[in-house]
Amino acid sequence: MLTSVRAASALLAGVLAAGLAVIDAGPAHAADPTTMTSGFYTDPDNSALRWARVNPGDGRAAAIRTSIADTPAARWFGNWSGDIGTATGAYAGRADSYDKLPILVAYNIPDRDICAGHSGGGAGSRAAYDTWIAAFASGIGSRPAVVVLEPDALGHESCMTAGQIAERNAMLKNAIAQFKAKAPHTWVYLDAGNPGWIDAPTMARQLAAAGVSGAHGFALNVSNYVTTDQNTSYGNAVNSALASYGYTKPFVIDTSRNGNGSDGQWCNPAGRRIGTPSRRGGGAEMLLWIKVPGESDGNCGVGAGSSAGQFLPEVAYKMIYGY
């Protein structure tokens, strides 16, 4: 990371010394964190790995460790994370010490999961959230990172009043501004649902209202199962609609559980399969494992009796093989 920063500084100094014009390339957050690192970071405390460590004699453990636990995926941060600045700082700092790029999810907006309720909660007020997200960004600081901002926050507008939507948009705009100011080497992707949820022109309008113009891009299929091809087509359609606002944006796709595509259900459906591991390209700017396969969507489907985020080894094992 330091080598890249020094090289960029030396190049800028050379340009200025030569008397050449410098074109404003935008704010510092435009720096590419993928070029500052040597690949994606694997969370050393992910739920699949914790289970495999505790159950080494289980016949499913080897497959879960190899196919899920050792694959780079996101860590989610919310009101369970303790002091958030300390938590994100420690996580980004550990990744940086290995020259790897961490994927973090900010999931603490007030009235979180307001429609479904399986992951309900979030900060208690707008002021509390503003403080929380500022500390989240400060914790990352100048280290390279990728942040997925508030899954479902826009997709759940149908369950909100106009006043709630306006307040949520203000919080999201402020969050994006905090990352710009405090985490200059972080790419922020505002969540934009999935192709089976909201039509592309409507999502483009919602993204624009929530300030996606200031973010690096938008995220698709978080915690869902829709194929990469379908998400790519949807992302391109969203961008076609965003063009009417004067810009387009890169997008990322959550491929952690989309290997068999979707059967139309979102909450622990049977017969799903893990997808392409985290990588650059693949129809989007990046394909990322944002949801850890095997973590429950809530008390529903093949996860009946579980709570959202709980690791279910049998679900994980079947997802490796697609049954």
Nearest Cα neighbor of 70 from 92, 94, 41, 90 is 41
Report, in angstroms and rounded to the nearest whole number, the Rg of the chain calculated over CA atoms: 19
Q: Which of 43, 96, 113, 191 is catalytic?
A: 113
In terms of Cβ atoms closer than 10 Å to its own Cβ (0-12, 13-18, 19+), residue 70 is: middle
Active site residue 152: yes
Do the beta carbons of residue 110 and residue 138 sit within 8 Å?
A: no
Sorted by sequence, the CB contacts under 8 Å of residue 63 that are 6+ apart come out as 317, 320
| Helix, strand, coil shares, percent, the chain, to 5 | 40, 10, 45
- Report helix angle 126-140 to 162-182, nearest 10: 20
Instruction: Output the CA angle 186-189-194, nearest 5 degrees.
Output: 160
Q: Which of 96, 191, 254, 297 is catalytic?
A: 297
Active site residue 70: no
Nearest Cα neighbor of 108 from 92, 89, 126, 121 is 121
The residues annotated with a catalytic role in the active site are 113, 152, 297
